[in-house]
Amino acid sequence: MTTPAPAPLLRASGLWKAFGEREVLRGIDLDLAQHEVVALIGASGSGKSTLLRCLNLLEPIDDGQIFLGDVDISDPRADANAIRARFGAVFQSYNLFPHLSVLDNVTLASRVVHRMPRREAEDRGRELLARVGLVDKAKEHPDRLSGGQQQRAAIVRAIATDPEVLLLDEITSALDPELVGEVLELVRELVGDGATILMATHEMGFARDVADRVVFLDDGLIVEQGPPAQLFTAPQHARTREFLARFTA
Amino acid sequence: MLVAVASTLVFAGIIWATVINTPGWASVQQSFFDPEVALQALPKVWDGFLINLQVLGLSVITVALVALLVAVLRTLRGPVFFPVRVIAAGYTDLLRGFPFIIVLYLVGFGLPTITNTRMPVVLLGVIAVTLTYSAYVAEVIRAGIEAVHPSQRLAARALGLGHVQTLRRVVLPQALRKMTPPLMNDFISMQKDVGLISILGAMDAIAGARSVASLTYNFTPYVVAGILFVLLAIPTIRLTDWYTARLREREQAGAIL
């Protein structure tokens, strides 16, 4: 026994979520340590997106608890807006704001939620955009950008406020194959910088490369989880094997 | 271009000749388009028209405020707001179905009667126009708000924006673009309907025209008033067309990218 494991940054226990009669999450327990990168895999409809949305309180949960640090953020008395601001979220279809320039997209939360002066927010926004090679697009509207550029801008928007946890929801699924690389490259850089990331993904090769842990979700339950090397090469459960076989076939 | 000009000239010539040679044109010209009567009527009609403009200008502000409030009330979610939603929905259903002239009678004659006070006609006109048009405009605003894709709201909430911040920074600016053409159409209807306040006894453009018409036994003053309303509407109509075309262009450009 060495030093005790640090308390997880994000902890979900016993999460239940139903949409009408359909139970989407049926008792999820999941921990995420600081600087940890966890990949969520599973078929469409297995509950990956719903889980991500429940974690940053975009969807109310029916049962269970969520802790961020040692704060119970699933407590109805918690300030949901302030808690969401501590997360960064990136969506499959970018969801950039079409009426705002790229720079305004990136700085909106800093200015409106975090009350940062516009100048300061814009300096920081430009700096981040420069890092991802989009500073020359700062004044453009999102519809002038390619899909890959839009998704990179959306990632910059998510990290502009220095969130404690990044939730990435199949962020390359809507992209043309030749644009996937540039987005994954950016995520890889964030991983290198020590970001804490939970990502739902169908990019098995990428998950294997960057994730510390892979979690296989099936029908609202975590069937199996472990280091990528183990889960991808020697899955314990028949369901996992089935899913991976279908995916690599 | 040349063909269009030539065709227009020929067409106009034919219509002109037909109208001029129609039996009875002389009497039509005399009772509807008498320049002398028109000149005589213009000052009075113009003075009245300023009252119509006053009602219009005030109503634009009150309609915008009331309609926005009703629309936002209708989009509130959660069981707590059920009665509020029902009231807002009932209001829009009722007032969109009611003929404007009935609202005008009820407000214009009813309101002073039940309150037993004399109220300025402009105020009564503004109340009636606001009651009716807020119902239409609220529906346009609501449709605009609901036409903004839910993923936009989701992205804003994910950044930590609250309900009002999301509405103000993300939803309404996008909804406004979708709402502008139908809103402008409602504005055009409103420009005409403020002419109806003459039935409340307001000395507006139409009442002014009526008084001159009854003195001269000539309908030209009505035509003069009509032309003023048309001149008022044309810029809005052109602006609507221009804006709608521009929106279409932008959407098509966006679709290619």
**Each residue of B2-38: pLDDT tens digit?**
888 999 999 999 988 888 888 888 888 888 888 888 8
Domains of chain A, start order: 10-248 (3.40.50.300)
| pLDDT range class, residue B241, cuts 50, 70, 90 | confident
CA angle B142, B146, B148 (to 5 degrees): 125
Percent of chain A with pLDDT over 90: 86
The residue among B216, B169, B257 whose CA lies nearest residue B42 is B216
Edge-to-edge strand order for the sheet containing A213-218? Answer: A87-90, A165-169, A197-200, A37-41, A213-218, A221-226
Q: Which chain B residues touch A53 with a CB distance below 8 Å?
A: 154
Size of interface A-B (CB pairs under 8 A): 64
3-class SS at A236?
coil
Q: Name the closest residue on chain B to residue A144, using Cα atoms.
A: B257
Edge-to-edge strand order for the sheet containing A10-19? Answer: A22-32, A10-19, A63-68, A71-72
**Residue B188 C-alpha, separation from nearest chain A C-alpha, in angstroms:** 27
Q: Which chain A residues touch B177 with a CB distance below 8 Å?
A: 99
| pLDDT range class, residue B123, cuts 50, 70, 90 | very high
Residue B202's H or E segment, with its range, is none
Q: Do A85 and B162 touch (CB under 8 A)?
A: no
Instruction: Give per-residue pLDDT as tens, A7-35.
Output: 799 999 999 999 999 999 999 999 999 99
Residue A116's H or E segment, with its range, is none
**Residue A89 C-alpha, separation from nearest chain B C-alpha, in angstroms:** 6
pLDDT of residue B256 exceeding 60, the answer is: no
Q: Give me the pLDDT at residue A6, please.
A: 67
User: B43: which strand partners?
Assistant: none
Tokens of A159: 């990290």
Q: Does the beta carbon of B159 lie under 8 angstroms from any beta carbon of chain A?
A: yes
Q: Domain B53-204 adopts which CATH fold? A: MetI-like fold (1.10.3720)
8-state DSSP, A137: G
* Chain A interface residues (partner B, CB cutoff 8 A): 53, 56, 58, 81-82, 84-89, 91, 93, 95-99, 108-109, 112-114, 143-144, 157-158, 161
Measure the CA–CA gap between A90 and A179, rounded to whole angstroms. 16
Q: Which of 26-65 (B) contact A at CB < 8 A? A: none
Mean pLDDT over A206-231 rounds to: 94
pLDDT of residue B78 exceeding 90, the answer is: no
For B173, the closest of A56, A99, A157 (CB atoms) is A99
| Number of Cβ within a 10 Å radius of residue B11 | 10
